[in-house]
Amino acid sequence: MLENKIALVTGASRGIGREIAKKLASCNAFVFVNYCGSKQRAEETVEEIKALGGRAKAIQADVADADAVSKMFDEILQEYKRLDILVNNAGITKDNLILKMKEEEFDTVINTNLYGVYHCLKHAAKQMLKQKSGRIINISSISGVIGNAGQINYCAAKAGVIGMTKSLARELGSRGITVNAVAPGFITTEMTDKLSEQIRQDLLEKIPLKRFGDAKEIAAAVAFLASEEAAYITGQTIQIDGGMGM
């Protein structure tokens, strides 16, 4: 399905990013597993992929750091001379109500979740334009579509990702490059595991399918968008949220 494609998944050491990396590798892509802090977690992702017969390599870069991103892309292109798939998944949260939110909390989330995507898009676009081919999938969030109290920084960034997706899809479409976004709802990860039972129940009331999603369901959509089967889809945001954002 993705035979001999070269893919980069940012923030792939855990959660949704890890499942995306594993899924792309299972479709025969070579996957660069980007991480910021935990080399051990990234290597665990790589080992999982190799145990399943896939190919992967861990690569470090803080996507909020433009110089680090530049070095990461240089390393990838020196080794493989191309990049076929970019998945912008890296993201953080620093939740707070607006009257309590510090500028540092706002800036840190914007720097990783919005600037981080921009930094990677710029390098990927340059290479993909040379190739006249490529797939870019940005991981947004249902929070960027409908908003969420206490997450003005996160929602602003994720809404911005949707805007960048549409804009870049128009810029790159004539060269055979597609740019799409996936907007997950509440997915079972380490982050959601920390929610209290009351909050979990309140959230489930808002979800028509009455369950949280699985990271594998996000990964499946990303793999589809990365494939030739999705060659005529661009500029779209696919909400995978159990109907929450209807």
35, 80, 154, 232: the catalytic one is 154
Instruction: Name the DSSP class of 61.
Output: -
Active site residue 154: yes
Joined together, the tokens standing for residue 236 give 């779209």
Joined together, the tokens standing for residue 46 give 């790589």
DSSP code per residue over 175-223: GTEEEEEEEE-SB-SHHHHTS-HHHHHHHHHT-TT-S-B-HHHHHHHHH
Q: Which of 11, 44, 13, 31 is nearest to 226 (CA)?
A: 31
The amino acid present at 166, given as its one-letter code, is K
Name 100's Cβ contacts closer than 8 Å, sequence gap at least 6.
none
Joined together, the tokens standing for residue 228 give 């030739």
Residues marked as catalytic: 154
